[in-house]
Amino acid sequence: MRVLAKNIKGFNIIELLIVIVIVGIISAVAYPNFNEWRKEREVRGAAVKIKNAIQAINSQVQRGMYGFVQVYIENNEAALHIVTKGMKMETLTNMVNNGASDWNNDPTSRCDTDSTGYWDHDGSIDDMLEVTEIWLEDITTSFLDGVAAVCFAKNSKWYSGAGNFLSAAGGQISVDSLFFICNRNVDFPRCFVDEATGIPNREHDHLFLVEWSRFGNITMEKWNQPREDWILQ
């Protein structure tokens, strides 16, 4: 019996060009949305990492591993650098009992960012679960080419700040409690935010903040441009 030949055809050149054009149109429409989604995920992921780092070092205070801890932040043109550090209770006690120490004479020096031997454990030096180090190359904050630090203790008595997190007005010293996070690029080397009001003074595509209290309560929020308000995440 004769077998019928199958009628099999491939694409001709016109059909192939039509398919390529359709795929190109779909890709052109979808790419901006995908790119924005990727950027948003990048900034959100950075904010989550920073929030988790602050929560983690505070948990070591509550556990009794440390009596005093620091979250150190350095921002420059290359990257945003975060390090957590811990001071053991014995070291803290020696500081408090040393009447000649700056610890007692100058409270603004307690959250020290300069001395190499000030902390028992340093995330940039020690490979330990209790302390950590984070590098974020495509992320920036509201200050550039500077250092900021905030320090916590279990009873909040030694809560203090340094650098860009230490404010002075009218003779009063206060510790800032907000940290802004956004994409880094040529137009945005830093996050443009009025730190007094917490309101951006330039429109950011993706802007987050991490906020803390002297007792170590940490929250994360995202700026909603249409509503012109911060939304808890």
Q: Where are the beta strands (DSSP E) in the chain?
A: 68-75, 80-87, 121-122, 133-136, 139-140, 146-153, 160-163, 166-169, 172-175, 178-183, 193-194, 199-200, 207-212, 218-224, 229-232
Let me know if residue 54 belongs to a domain.
yes
Let me know if residue 36 belongs to a domain.
no
Q: Is the pLDDT of residue 207 over 90?
A: yes
Q: What is the mean pLDDT of the chain?
A: 86
The residue among 228 and 16 whose pLDDT is bigger is 228
The per-residue pLDDT for range 96-123, each reduced to its tens digit, is: 898 887 888 788 889 999 888 899 999 9
The per-residue pLDDT for range 65-74, each reduced to its tens digit, is: 999 999 999 9
| pTM (2 d.p.) | 0.83
Q: Is the pLDDT of residue 185 over 80?
A: yes
Length of the chain in residues, anyone?
Answer: 233
Let me know if residue 41 belongs to a domain.
no
Let me know if residue 16 belongs to a domain.
no
Let me know if residue 92 belongs to a domain.
yes
Let me know if residue 37 belongs to a domain.
no
Total structural domains within the chain:
1
Structure confidence at residue 49 as a pLDDT band (50, 70, 90) = very high
Let me know if residue 5 belongs to a domain.
no
Pairing of strands 207-212, 199-200: unpaired
Domain extent, residue 220, equals 47-232
